[in-house]
Structure formats: structure tokens, C-alpha cells
Structure 1
Amino acid sequence: MLFLQTFVFAQQAQLTVHVTGARGFAINDARVTINGTRQIYTDSIGQFVLSGIVGATYSLRISKQGYLNENRQIKLESKNQSLTISLATLSHQLDEVLVKENRNLIRKGEEVLNVAVVNSDFIQRNLGGSLMKTLERLPGIKTIGIGSGQSKPLIRGLGFNRVVAVDKGIKHEGQQWGADHGLELDQFAAGEVEILKGATSFMYGSDAIAGVINVKPSRPPLKHTIAGNVDLIGKTNNNLYGTSVNLLGRNDKFFFDTRFTYQDYDDYRVPTDRVYVYDFEVPITNNYLRNTAGKETGIHWSAGVIGEKSNTVFYFSNVHSKSGFFANAHGLEPRKVAAEFHDRSNSDIQLPSQEVNHLKLINRTAYQFEQHKIELELGFQRNFRQEFNQYVNHGYMPANYPSNLQIPKDLEREFDKKVLSANLRNKFILNAHQFTIGTNLEFQDNLINGWTFLVPSFKQYTAGIFIYDQLKLNETLILQGAIRYDYGKMKLAKYTDWFESNDSQKLVRAENLTRNFNSLVWSLGVNYNPSKLFFKANIGKSFRIPIAKELGANGVNYHYFSYEKGDPGLSPEKSYQLDATLGWKERSWSLNISPFYNYFPNYIYLNPTANYDYFYGAGNQVFEYAQSKVIRYGGELEFNYKLTSFLNAEILGEYLYAMQISGVKKGFTLPFSPPPSLLLNLTYSPKDTKLFKDSYFSADYRITGKQHHIVPPEKKTEGYQVINLQIGTSLHFYNQPLRVSLQAQNLTNKKYMNHTSFYRLIALPEAGRDIVLSLKIPFKLVKHNHN
């Protein structure tokens, strides 16, 4: 047996292939197809390894966007060989292309869904107060802003639990139902962000009705390297200063990646000296919004092993933030405060305030054999959120806070969510088919605390199984089909008031409730992509399990100045959507048009009634959850024109129309429906010099229309125009690069109302002029040796 093993081992051979361009530089991410079935990709230095038997012949096909395909017959003649293959450049391609444009084009060319890809350079160039705010420059993406440091995404006017955020392969789970609850994601730690618009439940399950925001980690470092970078940021509007320090390294197979982020900011400024919280006039001192300061920290660590056929990576992160709510309006509830107390400092955080901590531990493992690639993702999350406020009694609550109550006096609400997640996928090739078969499992346990009640504690179980097929008929035509089945269980816990009502009994605000849900969803699509024209279309069904708030809410929502009641009989929300993308690309210009049509047979919404609650609230208007039929349609426009080799023009447009066609709000739109907008951009990119490289001077002129098509209690908003400037360059001193980015947001200090802002119901304008300076300083302690 030992002899046979030695003999077999002796017959094994390895061929190391280096793929280069015409000028000898390495080509990474080139697709290598072996014997027409197995696929691998070149690494960061343009290299891949072919293992096989001595004397065997293998057929290789190497392809890369912008290069002619290369076909080779390779015979393994010895145990260790090396070979360099040079790819010829397509004649119509420019000599220099931006990597982000290549990545975006490749992803769009392979995907049937409407997809956009941005990298860390885009994030630094358009740095906002949060990752979601940074992505807002993309057409079809908007945010619900909560102050200067918190925001949540809207994709084509849908948000909350209708948008899935994925971080390192695991669905990010926080308190998505709250308009004032932002996403706990560190934008400095994002290596690449992929935005999928449309029906994506077939891959991600419940909640992916509007689309997915997939935040991917940075790629592993090069072999035998210890490096990193330091990011510095400062903003004038709220006196923000912050840093993000990254250190990473790798030997042959093992690597690590660490990052620490810290940001501190003061109250932010608005271009007005007074606001009106409903009918209450609130003077603003020196344009600062009282008590909107905050602090944020992020700790990230990852480590893993990368092999030829398998790899495994562990990710740990802990993101913490503490910020104040606008003192004169706790949410949307008017408040009288001591202005002198708050105006003494713009950097302190007083009541009301919030503190959020999101911890994650994720493992991603992949194993490849023959035509199969097995991927496993396991995750644990804990989202711990606390809202603090002075004790205010409503209804039957005692006038004075009881001294024997175990709940802290200033703890208004607390949510403690723990989540276990598991994803398993098998990707394999069968002739011209690329199949993906997978399953997703998730368990949530959300406990509540505090002296107010809105949402009961709950446990949620979900499980889904899917099969996805991508059929490549030829180099220009791809067909796609998918089907998925999901099962979910929601268990709400009984809640009883801690105080007595007028009949000397403690009122039961929520009963024990168990609901089971199931759904079958599907998707069909086509991608036709010849040399210049490309056309994509996708039709699919998505669904969403009703959340605990929609089923069991029964209390005052101070953030909306309303009394909300859930409906335990709600059915799962369903959505049917048709997406299309039509584009044309020439050497100097490109055009993309992406229309969509969306139909909900049972959209869940919060309906304002004619009733008011005086017993357990404070005379707040009663809102009840209901369901109605809804139609939505619209689209995005992207036009890019290269005026000269240094000057580029861009037009980005978006439009959305939504209407309820049944129910008590028939004829009205949906909440947070963004108005039409158009962004005009002009970018000048001068030629590189010895000192300055990759420089740009860019101006955005955004034109936003009025939004008078509203649903009560929304307010109408007028149109506005805003100018943003971006300037950036890479300085090189003694081979040490320094990336500098400078922005002027709202250059003219324009006073305007953003229709998707959380605070626009109390006529609070958006932030005034903000000058943003960011520096990225990369460094290398141990350089990679190409030999």
C-alpha cells in the first residue's frame, strides 16, 4: 500500500500559469475554464495552478473583459511546470480603464437582475454620514435620514423590512421596523457593495421584496505581506472628526485583517434659525439642532486560511453608537426643553438619546472539488438597543416613577435581539447550466424592556430551500430560472402593564400568539449581451412575513407621535415585479434605461384612523395596520458621455409612481415615496504627473421635483436644487502614496425639505453646507515579493 501511494503521488503534477497583458502586467480575476466544465479565476498577481496527472492533456480557455479569449492545449510533462500566457487586448478598448468600471460591467454582464457595484474608492469619494447615505448618489437609492449619523436605505421607495442588508454573507438583523433605527454598518470596513434591485426573495428569502444591499469584505492581502492604511476624516457642519486604522497581513495561506474606527461629532446645523414642531415655534441657536451629537466606534477582526481547493475565514465585529434625539421633538412628539441647558454645549449628549451595540461572529467556508463549490456561512448576531428619556406619564401611568420598580428610571425602551443564521449552497456546472442549490436557516429571539410598551417580545423561525439555474446558451445569451420554498413561525409573548388601570387591574396589552407562514416564490430572467447592445429582463414573485410590530403593536410610538395597533390576522405580504434594463455602449458614451412594474395584492401599511387614544396614550391619533392592493412603477436612467480624454459628463435620473388601488386609502400613494430627481455631473480628470495621480474635479447638480402625491399624515414637499463638489488626488512622496478627497455638500447652504427624511413631518430642513475632508494613507511593513 505504501508503494502504491508513493507511485500515485509521483504521477501527480502541477502547472503554475501566469496570465499577463500585452505589456507584461498581471491580469487578475481572469476566468479559466478547464476541459469546458470546471472554472477557476486567476489570483491578485494573475496566477493560477493546474493540478493533474503526468502525461494528461487539458484544454484551457482563458477569458477576461477587454481581452481576446485564449485557447490552449496543455500537456503535463513533469511534476512542476510554469508557463506565461499573454492575452491580446481588444482593438476597440482604451489603453487605460478604471477598475471599478470593469468590475461593474463584468457583474452586469453576468447577472440577470438589475445590479450596481461600488468599491471603497467610491465610498471615500462620496463619503456621507453613514454607508447608506454614501450610496444615495446611485439612482434608485434613497435614505430615511435620522440626524447626521444614522440612516436606513430605500430601494425604489421601499424600505424597512422590505430591503435586506447582507454583511459578509449573513443577513444583517437589527430593529429594521423603526424609522429612527439606522443600520449598524461601518462604511470604512466595506470592501465592495453590491446593490440588487427588484425581486430577490428566491435567493435571500423573506424581506427581499425591494432588493438587497450586499456589503462584502475586503479581499485577502497578497502573500507574504504586512500592510494597512489609515483613514482620517473631518466635517465642518457638525465638527466631526474620526479615524479608521487598518492592519492586515498574510504568509502563504494564513491571513489576518483588523480595523478600528472612531468618530465623534457635535450637533449638526441647518440653514434656518427656527423650526415649527407642528404648531410650536422652536428657535434654533446659531443654527445648531439641540442634542443631535454622537459618538461611534467599530472594532473588526478577521482571520482565515486560503488553500487551493478550500478556504475558511472567521469574522468578528462590534459596532457601537451613542447619539441624541432632537431635544425639542422626541421623535415627532413636541417637547418643551430648557434651551439654555442644551445650548451650553454642542457636543454633549443629553436625554432623549439612544445607544446601540451590534456584535457579529461569522464563519465562511468554501470547498471546491471537480465541478462543485460548496459554501457554508454560519453567523451569530446580537443587536442591543436602548432608548433613554425622562419619565413621562401617559394615561394610567403613575404621576411619579415608583421607587421599587426594577426598570431604570430613564430607560424608556430596550430591545435585545439575538440571531443565529446558517446558509449552505452547492454551486456546480452541468453542461451549459450553472446550478446553485441552497438552504437558509434563521432563528431570532428579541426581548424587550423599559417603562413603555410598543412591541412585544418574540421568537421567529425561518427556513428556506431554493434552486437557481443559469443557462448560458452562447457568449451573448443567458437564461435564468429559480424557485424557492419558505416556512416561517412567529411567536409573540404576552405583555402586561406594570401599572394598574382605573379598575385596579393591570391591562394585558399583548396576548400570546403563534402564527405559521409558508410561501413559494420564483424568478425568470434573460440577459442578452452582444458587443454594444445589452438587454435584461426579470420577472419574479417575492414575499415578506409580517413582523412583530405589525402583528402585535399596542402602544404609543413617540417617534411618530401616534398610537399604533397591530393586527394578528395579517397575511404574508406578496409582491410581483417585472424589471428590465436596456443599454447601449459605444467607445465614448453609454446609456442605460431600467424600467420596472410592481404589484402588491396585499401590501401591509399603517393606516391613520379617526380615533384618538386618551386612556393609555396622550390623546394620540390611533394608527392601525391594514392591507391593500398597490401598484408601483418607475425606473432609472444612466447616461455617460466622454467629451474629451479628460472631461466626462453623466446624467442620472429616477422616477417612481405608487398608488393604493383598494382599502380605505384607495387613491393615495405610499409613505416615503421619493419624488423624481435628476443628477447632472461633470468630471475633469487631468493627466497624471510625477506628484499627482488619479486626480479629479467633479460637480453634482441635483434637481429634485416636488412631491404633492402623498398619504396622510405626510406633508407635501416642494422641489429643490442642490450642488455638491468633489475634488481628489493621490500624492506620492518618496513612494508613499496619500489619497486626498475633499467634498462640499450643499455648497450654497440651501434650505430644503427631503421627502424621505424622518424629520420632514415637523418641517425640519436638511443639513446645511458641509465641507468634508478625508485622507487615506496606505502603508506596507513587509512588501510582497513577486519572485
Structure 2
Amino acid sequence: MKKFSILGFILLCQVFVFAQQSQLNGRVLTSNGTAVFGATINISPAAKTLNSNTNGTFIYDGQIGETLTINISKEGFLKETRTLTLKNAQQILTIKLAASSYLLNEVLIKDNRIENLQKEQSLNVEVVNADFIQRNLGGSLMKTLERLPGIKTIGIGSGQSKPLIRGLGFNRVVVVDKGVKHEGQQWGADHGLELDQFAAGEVEILKGAASFMYGSDAIAGAINVKPTRAPAKHSLGGNVDLIGKTNNNLYGTSVNLFGRNDRYFFDSRFTYQNYGDYRVPTDRVSVYNFQVPLDKNYLRNTAGNENGIHLSAGILGEKFNSIFYLNNVFSESGFFANAHGLEPRNVDLALHDRSNRDILLPKQQVNHFKLINRSDLQLNNHKVEIELGYQRNFRQEFSQYVNHGYMPAIFPENFGIPRDTEREFDKNVYSVNLKDKFELGKHQLSFGGNVEYQDNSINGWTFLVPGFKQFTSGAFVYDQLQLNEKTILHGALRYDYGRIKLNKYTDWFASTLNDGSTQNLVRADDLTRNFNSFVWSVGINYNPEKFIFKANIGKSFRMPIAKELGANGVNYHYFSYEKGDPTLSPEKSYQADATIGWKEKNWSVKFSPFYNYFPNYIYLNPTANYDYFYGAGNQVFEYAQSEVMRYGGELQFNYQISKFLSTEVLGEYLYAEQLSGSKKGFTLPFSPPPSVLFNLTYTPKDHQLLIDTYFSVDYRITATQNNIVPPERKTDGFYIINLQVGTKLHLYKQPLMISLQAQNLLDTKYMNHTSFYRLIELPEAGRNIILSLKIPFNLSHTQN
């Protein structure tokens, strides 16, 4: 009996102690309600030190009745002190930090936000800012990002390109602009992305299966283009960017003007660029065994221009923020005259070579209009975010009318379509994204959903892809569990539903059938397909003091696009006949990613391997057949599915040789193989060969007038690509040298930023295996000297 009494007394004490426990849920915010990451929280008399996580929160387990003194500090903010007594089992504390103000000529605050994001994100992530973009300016934003390992582009001309992540592109990479999925005509290799790199504030690149975050199409990853940050309070200013390039004689400017009072702000940018034909290090190319001479190494009819208008305005508060973005980008550019259509020999060379700046037929015009609203509301422990978007992508391809097959020899005057409108695509997109983020104990939970509706119409006297309407929706839940200061677990589940309806298309001309009768052939039938899928992802981050390890495994999916289901025509850019398959099943992918790294004071290394398996990869398969009705006997390519296995990885090594000298090594490798189908044993199209980039950077000591000066050289070695899939051709290995020089010149207390690049310094002749024009053995652009200036101006500024 005595033993039972003692046991009962012990249990009663345990219950009493448990009843006295209190959990303090704290949150650290800025004065406008933004979470503060990495704030130091010292709690006494418990002598406990904590750090706020990415949501600004921290948790302290104490006892009811305990009186605490809490000191909060963070670089760039004034220190705060709170004293409170724990009275309940669950207690909430919100602390807002005021930004510190110093009467100095310039205050430079550096934090580890990007480094911490990489540690807390289970996927492989890279982040670049506006300084990186200016330092490595390419012909487009995607071309600028190509310096990063694992990122390549499919380029056409000097201003159009689309991204590849680890060898996958087109509709397998999602590009997000200001929170909304950018929807253009990304299915075509000759269709670039209508994004102004001067308007990008920061770019986040996710490598690997990101479908649980962005839905269908994010099989290879995502590129998240974020806007510039809101202006400082009580400011009025801007900057002027000037740029010039020697290879295609480009000149351009981008003017920015912004202003803000206490809560309301506006930001605007106007961009204009004009460029001529670009040059290649050869005087002739072979277009399907036909030798084409180039006048002074210029690629005729590749000139163009680009205009961009970007406006944003909104309200910023402690608990509610709402910002409107309006973007309108227009571009006009020519197609290489000898590599478009079915008659590369019948080109008026004298007309095209008369000027290097005119834009003649064939050419394209693209206008992308976008209106987005992003709002967020802080409700106690919840942060609700909503994004509403409308965009219209209007693309026209112009060419002289040339009849093929049974098309009439003379263009009908009463046809109702302009005689030079070869193709026209008009896409209207409506998007809604909703997300709720909150904390529950050690769990950081996110619930969200996406809805998107597309209406796509076509026009023109040729046919390739039918018009269609598409509806997609999805919902997800994502949990990030902080086990301790070193270990984070991740888990996500998502369900997607999609519906696509293809419109019937009938030829506007009659074709003669085998029995001698004539008929307007049906190129695409009405078709409605429904798709749905569950996808999932699990991951872990383990981050001791110097060691970095993270791993992720997940399933993703992609519903077939209109071209894969219903294409039935000549692709004049590829001299091929493409035919879709209306029975294709949705593409599935399973991928495992890992990142292993070590960081010391003077050096760091990071290795990111991956393995990827597709049970039903969709690809364009060349056949032994040739078309009879629509072209000059073009080879028929049909969409098919097969098993595919891919693996590879990226290596990054940095070493600070001395205070002013550093080096960097960036390497990448990819292997892909089809495991079934008619191309079993072959790789996939546009598979990039192994490459490594060696960099040496010298940053001298700041001068009274010159600061942040750098001298940098990149030496890239690219291996031969012998692993191809017919009808691809092998590409030889090459090496190129790029130089970058830059500084900030202080004039009248304003920093003038100067950047000078020399791309392909040695004017090397080489083939890029992921280039659109590589199909006709056209080398990449020759030497290009790029000079850019950024001139900020401050019209009014008062410190708080």
C-alpha cells in the first residue's frame, strides 16, 4: 500500500508540473509587418538564446508564473526589450523592430538571407540579384542566367531564348513573374520569354521537381522572377540604365522613377532596345546541304527592337499590403532569312544585305500584356496571400506567301487574312493563387490553391497547332517541421486537375485525294481530355555549423499540351512535319535531389547530384514517312512516349586566395537515356554536354571615388557531345573566355555604376548543342563587347 501511495504521489506531481508548463510563441516583425529572419532573442533569467526563423517566429517553453526579460536584436534594427509574466499554457508575443537610422554617406547592410534560404529549402535553389544581372547581361534574362551551373538556354537570334534546367525545357520549366505563372507560347523553340531583365529585382531558380509548389509543368524546376523592392519611406528617385553592344550594334536605355510617402508608393520603368543583325565567326553556313554566303559575317535579317512599360503602385501597412503591377512588353525581330520556310535558296540577298538594321520578312511580332495584384494580410499567426493575374500573349509570324502542296498558287484576295500573316497566336490567361501560412508548434504549415484558365485562338494561312481552351486547378499542403536548430523535415502533397479542349481545324483550300476527288482536309478534330494527379515531396535539411546536407525526393506530373495532342502541319523553322497524338497520357516524373556542402572561412564546396525517372516521357520522334499534301516532302515527326532515365549534378567551389583575389569553379554533368520505344538507347534532344567554368576575380581596395571595383575572367570548357538522338548531329567541344570589369564611381554623392563585358573574347567559332540554329550548323555569336551604365538619382529623401 505504501508503494502505491508513493507512486500516486509521483504521478500527481508530474501532472501538477505538466499543468504549470507554458509555451511562449513569439514573432519578430519589421515596422511594416515583414518577418525578420535571424533575429537574436536572449531570454533571462533562463539564460536561453534563440533565433527567429524565416517566418520571424521563435518558441520558448517555460512555467506559468515565470517572469521573463526578453532582449531582441538584429543588425540594421534598433534593439527591443520586453518584460512579461507567463500566465497561460499558450501565450503569444509580437515584437516589431524599428529600422536603425545613421547619418552616414552610405550604409551597407549585409545579411545571410540567401544563404539561409538555401539551408532551409529542401530543393536545390540558386538566387541572383540585380547586380548579378547587370554584371552578366546577355541578350535576354534567360541568357543572363546561363552562367549558373545546370542552366542553359535554347536561343534564336540575339534577343530570344528560353531556359533549360538540367537539360529539360519548354513546358517542363515554369517561369513565375511577380507570383503569377508566365504564359506565352513556350512550346516553340523559336518563342522566347517576354521578360525585361532590367525590371527584375531578384531571380530564384529551383532545380528539381517543383510541381507541389507550382502545379503542372514544373517537372524540371521553376524560375521565379521577383519584382524590385518597394522604395524607402519618404523617397523620390530612380535610375537610368544605358547599354551598348558591339556584335549587333545594340543600343538601349531603361529609365526608372519611384516614390513613396509613409504607406503609398509607385514604381515605374520604361525600356527601349534596338539592335541590328548579329555576327558569327564564319562567312558561310550550310542550310541542309545548301551553302549560304554571309555578307561580312552578318546573319541577315536578325535585327530587332524591344519596348517595355512597367508600372506598379500599392499600399504597405503593418498587417495589410496590396500592390498592382502592370507590364507591357513588345518586341519585333527578324528570322534568319535563309533558315525559314521551305525555300532557303529563293532569298533576295541584295535586299537583305542592303542594311543591317532593317527588319524584313520573315519576322515576328510579340506583345505580352500583364496585370497582376498581389495582396497579403497578417491575421494573428496566419499570413494570407492572394495573387490575381490577367495576361495576353499576342504573337504574329509574317512571311511572304509561298504555296506548297495543294495550296493555291495565287493568294486569294478575298480570303480575309493578310497575305503576309503566316501564323497568329492569341492567348488570354486568367490566374488566381491563394496561400495561407501559419505555425502550429514546431510546424510551419502552408495551405494553398491555384486556378488558371486559358483561351487560345489561331489565325494565318498555315497550320501547326489548333486553337484550344484549357482549365487547370490544384490544391496543396506543405509542412516544414523544425526538429531542432540543425534539422528540418519537409513534406508536401498536391492534387491537380486539368481539362483541355482542342478546336477543330479544316484547311481553307482543297487537296486532291488518292481517288482523284478533292476535299478540304480536317487537320485537327474536336478533342476534350481530362487529367488529374496526386504529387508529393519529402525532404530533409541537416545543417551543422559548417556542413550542409539536404535531400529531396518527389513525384511530379505534366499534362500534354495542345501541340503534343493535336499538331498536324509543317514547322517552317525545322523543315519538318509534326504530328500530335490525341491519346497521350500525362507525363510523370520521379526525382531524387541532394546537396552536400562544406563551408570554411576562406573556401566552400557544394555538390548537387540528382536522379530522374520518367515512365512515359513525351518526345518528338522522327519517322520514315514524308508528307505529301503540305510541303516539299518533309520528314514526318510524331509525338510518342517512352521510359527515360536521367542523372547528373552540379559542382560549385569557391576559394578566397587573398583579401583581394578569389576563384570559383562551376561544373555540370548530365546523362539521359531512353529505356523504351523506337529510340531506345539514345539520349534526349537538346541534352547539354558536360562543361566546367573557371573564374578568377580581383577586387582591389576601395578608393575615395571608386568602390566595389572588380576584374573578372571566366574560362568555360565544354566537352564534345557525342551522345545524341537522330536526326541530331554531334557537336564538337570548345572553350571560350569572357571578361567582366566594373566599378562604382561616386560623383556628387551619387554612385555611377559602370560595367564592361567581353563575351567570346577570342571570337571562337563553336556550336552550342542547345541552340535552335545548331540544327543548320550555325555557330554562336562572335566577340561581343558590352558596356552598361546605371545612373541613380535622388530627387528627395528624408530620414525618419
Q: What is the TM-score normalised by the length of structure 2?
A: 0.89
| 3-state DSSP of counterpart to 1:424 | strand
2:533 aligns to what? 519
2:772 to 745, 758, 783: 758
2:194 to 163, 179, 184: 184
* 1:349-364 matches, cutoff 5 A: 349-364=359-374
Number of residue pairs the alignment of both structures matches: 738
2:579 aligns to what? 565
Pairing 1:384–2:394 present: yes
Deviation at 1:249, TM superposition (A): 0.7
| 3-state DSSP of counterpart to 2:563 | helix
- In structure 2, what residue type is equivalent to 1:697? F
1:777 aligns to what? 791
Confirm or deny: 8 A CA contact 1:32 1:41 kept in the other structure: no
2:679 aligns to what? 665
Distance 1:439 1:572 in 2: 20
1:313 aligns to what? 323
Pairing 1:601–2:615 present: yes
Consecutive unaligned residues of structure 1, counting only runs of 5 or more, are: 1-14, 20-26, 43-55, 87-95
Change in Cα spacing, 1:744 to 1:470, as seen in structure 2 (3 Å) is same
Change in Cα spacing, 1:735 to 1:68, as seen in structure 2 (3 Å) is closer
* 1:57-136 matches, cutoff 5 A: 62=72, 73-74=82-83, 99=110, 102-136=112-146
Consecutive unaligned residues of structure 2, counting only runs of 5 or more, are: 1-26, 44-49, 57-65, 86-94, 101-106
Deviation at 1:712, TM superposition (A): 1.1
Confirm or deny: 8 A CA contact 1:33 1:39 kept in the other structure: no
Distance 1:515 1:618 in 2: 33
Change in Cα spacing, 1:448 to 1:85, as seen in structure 2 (3 Å) is closer
Change in Cα spacing, 1:82 to 1:37, as seen in structure 2 (3 Å) is closer
Deviation at 1:334, TM superposition (A): 3.0
1:240 aligns to what? 250
| 3-state DSSP of counterpart to 1:328 | helix
1:372 aligns to what? 382
- In structure 2, what residue type is equivalent to 1:557? N
1:421 to 425, 431, 451: 431
Pairing 1:500–2:514 present: no
Confirm or deny: 8 A CA contact 2:495 2:534 kept in the other structure: yes
Pairing 1:405–2:412 present: no
2:220 aligns to what? 210
Confirm or deny: 8 A CA contact 1:59 1:71 kept in the other structure: no
Confirm or deny: 8 A CA contact 2:78 2:98 kept in the other structure: no
- In structure 1, what residue type is equivalent to 2:634? N
Distance 1:140 1:648 in 2: 22
Change in Cα spacing, 1:67 to 1:402, as seen in structure 2 (3 Å) is closer
Deviation at 1:73, TM superposition (A): 3.7
Change in Cα spacing, 1:31 to 1:757, as seen in structure 2 (3 Å) is same
Distance 1:60 1:720 in 2: 60
1:642 to 646, 653, 656: 656
1:274 aligns to what? 284
Pairing 1:624–2:643 present: no
- In structure 2, what residue type is equivalent to 1:291? N
* 1:530-545 matches, cutoff 5 A: 530-545=544-559
> CA-to-partner distance for each residue in 1:252-305, whole Å, 9 max, x for gaps?
100000000000000000011111101100111111000000000000000000
Deviation at 1:657, TM superposition (A): 0.1
Distance 2:536 2:663 in 1: 39
1:486 to 482, 496, 501: 496
Confirm or deny: 8 A CA contact 1:466 1:482 kept in the other structure: yes
What root-mean-square deviation, in Å, do the aligned CA atoms of Structure 1 and Structure 2 show?
A: 2.6
| 3-state DSSP of counterpart to 2:296 | helix
Change in Cα spacing, 1:68 to 1:291, as seen in structure 2 (3 Å) is closer
| 3-state DSSP of counterpart to 1:124 | helix
> CA-to-partner distance for each residue in 1:599-633, whole Å, 9 max, x for gaps?
00000000000000122222100000000000000
1:90 aligns to what? none
- In structure 2, what residue type is equivalent to 1:664? S
* 1:13-92 matches, cutoff 5 A: 30-31=38-39, 62=72, 73-74=82-83
Confirm or deny: 8 A CA contact 2:38 2:53 kept in the other structure: no
Confirm or deny: 8 A CA contact 2:481 2:490 kept in the other structure: yes
Which deviates more, 395-404 or 691-700? 395-404
> CA-to-partner distance for each residue in 1:690-740, whole Å, 9 max, x for gaps?
110000000000000000100011110000000000000000012121000
| 3-state DSSP of counterpart to 2:347 | coil
Distance 1:192 1:331 in 2: 39
1:327 aligns to what? 337
Change in Cα spacing, 1:40 to 1:277, as seen in structure 2 (3 Å) is closer
1:726 aligns to what? 740
| 3-state DSSP of counterpart to 1:422 | strand
Confirm or deny: 8 A CA contact 1:332 1:759 kept in the other structure: no
Distance 2:493 2:96 in 1: 44
| 3-state DSSP of counterpart to 1:340 | helix
| 3-state DSSP of counterpart to 1:104 | helix
1:453 to 446, 454, 463: 463
Confirm or deny: 8 A CA contact 1:38 1:429 kept in the other structure: no
2:667 aligns to what? 653
Deviation at 1:483, TM superposition (A): 0.3
- In structure 2, what residue type is equivalent to 1:758? F
Pairing 1:302–2:325 present: no
Change in Cα spacing, 1:781 to 1:216, as seen in structure 2 (3 Å) is same
Confirm or deny: 8 A CA contact 2:184 2:427 kept in the other structure: yes
Distance 1:40 1:678 in 2: 34
Distance 2:51 2:702 in 1: 43
Between structure 1 and structure 2, the one with the greater Rg is 2
Confirm or deny: 8 A CA contact 1:390 1:409 kept in the other structure: yes
Deviation at 1:30, TM superposition (A): 4.9
Change in Cα spacing, 1:336 to 1:459, as seen in structure 2 (3 Å) is same
Change in Cα spacing, 1:58 to 1:778, as seen in structure 2 (3 Å) is farther
Confirm or deny: 8 A CA contact 1:31 1:40 kept in the other structure: no
Which deviates more, 648-657 or 105-114? 105-114
Distance 2:341 2:114 in 1: 39
Confirm or deny: 8 A CA contact 1:166 1:213 kept in the other structure: yes
Confirm or deny: 8 A CA contact 2:40 2:51 kept in the other structure: no
2:760 aligns to what? 746
Pairing 1:469–2:479 present: yes
1:51 aligns to what? none
Confirm or deny: 8 A CA contact 1:241 1:265 kept in the other structure: yes
Confirm or deny: 8 A CA contact 2:78 2:99 kept in the other structure: no
> CA-to-partner distance for each residue in 1:441-489, whole Å, 9 max, x for gaps?
0000000000000000000000100000000111111000000000000
Change in Cα spacing, 1:752 to 1:132, as seen in structure 2 (3 Å) is same
Distance 1:714 1:179 in 2: 15
Q: What is the TM-score normalised by the length of structure 1?
A: 0.90
Pairing 1:431–2:431 present: no
Change in Cα spacing, 1:67 to 1:597, as seen in structure 2 (3 Å) is farther
Distance 2:646 2:615 in 1: 12
Change in Cα spacing, 1:734 to 1:473, as seen in structure 2 (3 Å) is same
Give the % identical residues. 71
Confirm or deny: 8 A CA contact 1:34 1:58 kept in the other structure: no
Deviation at 1:109, TM superposition (A): 1.6
Distance 1:82 1:136 in 2: 40
Confirm or deny: 8 A CA contact 1:32 1:40 kept in the other structure: no
Distance 2:688 2:342 in 1: 20
| 3-state DSSP of counterpart to 1:759 | helix
Confirm or deny: 8 A CA contact 1:327 1:335 kept in the other structure: no
Distance 1:40 1:250 in 2: 27
Change in Cα spacing, 1:469 to 1:403, as seen in structure 2 (3 Å) is same
Confirm or deny: 8 A CA contact 2:564 2:639 kept in the other structure: yes
